[in-house]
């Protein structure tokens, strides 16, 4: 120890196991000295108040000038660290501070910010919202439907049930109608409304015509669907049939026609669409 000791100076001796056996403090200057094992006095560093520093990354954190208890905010990982020793160059000497977010924001006003473009879906529909739970249809299927028609006339052989080959769409909300197979595939189990109108235009008088709302694989109705039989003396005739029926997810809906008296033609229509199929999903069960 070097320096001048004046008459009347006061000294304070305390025990401090964190540095050495004894710490001697010179009261007039408030300087402290540690008594070493060899009998010499070593000045102790001044007590520093914990500092808070912001750095961009780990490398900057390990190179910052810091002492035990100092805090560093690392922005690339959005984490806060506290130094547990006087050596900031060793990563293990830094301990991440865990923040209780719920207590931190309790009673506080939060102003959110968003960067970029939201990818949240906008086609999710619920019938009701109850206790933060969505009840009802979760896929938006209750807004699905189609209207399809023929682009050209279709021939029907005598007494043969023929699937009507709808190959053009007025609309198809979610792509459930296939213009190649001419089938509608039900997206969800529930009630469906189906309307079918067929315009016949061939054959002789005393026609014995039938139209069906059935399945893709058979002309039989699905779950006792709709059949309509119409006899007419007119060569040209329009037959309509509709049903509200339950179908399961994956079931197919198709339209069929037959003439038991002679060969016939299903007409597409010239200026208006006279042969068409409409399907609308009404809701789940």
* pLDDT per residue rounded down to tens, the chain (285 residues): 445 555 555 656 565 555 545 555 655 555 665 556 666 666 655 555 678 999 999 999 999 998 888 999 999 998 999 999 889 999 999 999 876 655 556 666 666 555 555 566 555 555 555 545 555 444 444 568 999 998 889 998 888 888 999 999 999 988 999 999 999 999 999 899 999 998 888 766 667 888 888 877 665 555 555 676 666 667 778 888 888 888 888 989 999 888 888 888 888 865 556 899 999 998 887
Q: Report the alpha-carbon distance of residue 196 to residue 265 in Å, rounded.
A: 16
CA distances 80 to 50, 72, 87, 105, Å, are 14, 6, 17, 17
* Cβ pair 153, 266 in contact under 8 A: yes
CA terminus-to-terminus distance, the chain: 91
The total domain count for the chain is 3
Residue 254 lies in a domain: yes
- The domain that contains 166 carries what CATH number? 2.60.120.40
Q: 258 and 160: one domain? A: yes
* Cβ pair 271, 176 in contact under 8 A: no
Residue 267 lies in a domain: yes
Q: Range of 199's domain?
A: 142-284
* pLDDT of res. 210: 84
**191 burial level (CB within 10 Å; 0-12, 13-18, 19+):** middle
Q: From the CB of residue 242, how many other CB atoms can be counted at a distance below 10 Å?
A: 13
Q: 58 and 151: one domain? A: no
* pLDDT of res. 71: 92
Residue 124 lies in a domain: no
Q: 148 and 75: one domain? A: no
Q: 22 and 58: one domain? A: no
For residue 260, give both structure tokens: 């038991």
**What 3-state class would DSSP assign to 63?**
helix
Q: 56 and 183: one domain? A: no
Whether the pTM exceeds 0.85: the reply is no
φ, ψ for residue 240 (rounded to 5)? -125, 145
Q: 66 and 149: one domain? A: no
Residue 114 lies in a domain: no
Q: 150 and 274: one domain? A: yes
């Amino acid at each position: 120890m070097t320096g001048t000791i004046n008459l009347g100076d006061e000294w304070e001796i305390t025990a401090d196991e964190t540095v050495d056996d004894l710490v001697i403090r010179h009261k007039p200057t408030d300087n402290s000295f540690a008594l070493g094992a060899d009998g010499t006095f070593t000045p102790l560093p001044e007590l520093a108040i914990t500092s808070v520093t912001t750095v961009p990354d780990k490398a900057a954190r390990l190179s910052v000038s810091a002492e035990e208890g100092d805090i560093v905010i690392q922005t690339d990982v959005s984490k806060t660290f506290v130094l547990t020793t006087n050596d900031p160059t060793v990563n293990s000497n830094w301990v991440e501070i865990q923040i209780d977010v719920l207590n931190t924001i309790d009673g506080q006003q939060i102003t959110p910010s968003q960067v970029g473009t939201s990818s949240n879906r906008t086609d999710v529909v619920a019938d009701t919202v109850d206790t933060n739970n969505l009840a009802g249809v979760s896929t938006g299927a209750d807004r699905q439907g189609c209207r399809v028609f023929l682009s050209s006339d279709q021939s029907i052989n005598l007494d043969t049930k023929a699937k009507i080959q709808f190959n053009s769409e007025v609309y198809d909300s979610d792509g459930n109608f296939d213009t190649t197979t001419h089938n509608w595939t039900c997206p969800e189990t529930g009630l469906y409304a189906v309307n079918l109108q067929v315009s016949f235009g061939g054959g002789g008088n005393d026609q014995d015509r039938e139209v069906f709302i059935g399945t893709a694989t058979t002309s039989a109705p699905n779950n006792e669907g709709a059949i309509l039989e119409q006899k007419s003396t007119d060569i040209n005739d329009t037959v309509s049939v509709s049903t509200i029926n339950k179908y399961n997810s994956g079931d197919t809906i198709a339209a069929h026609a037959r003439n038991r008296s002679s060969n016939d033609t299903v007409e597409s229509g010239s200026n208006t669409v006279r042969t068409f199929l409409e399907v609308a999903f009404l809701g789940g069960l």
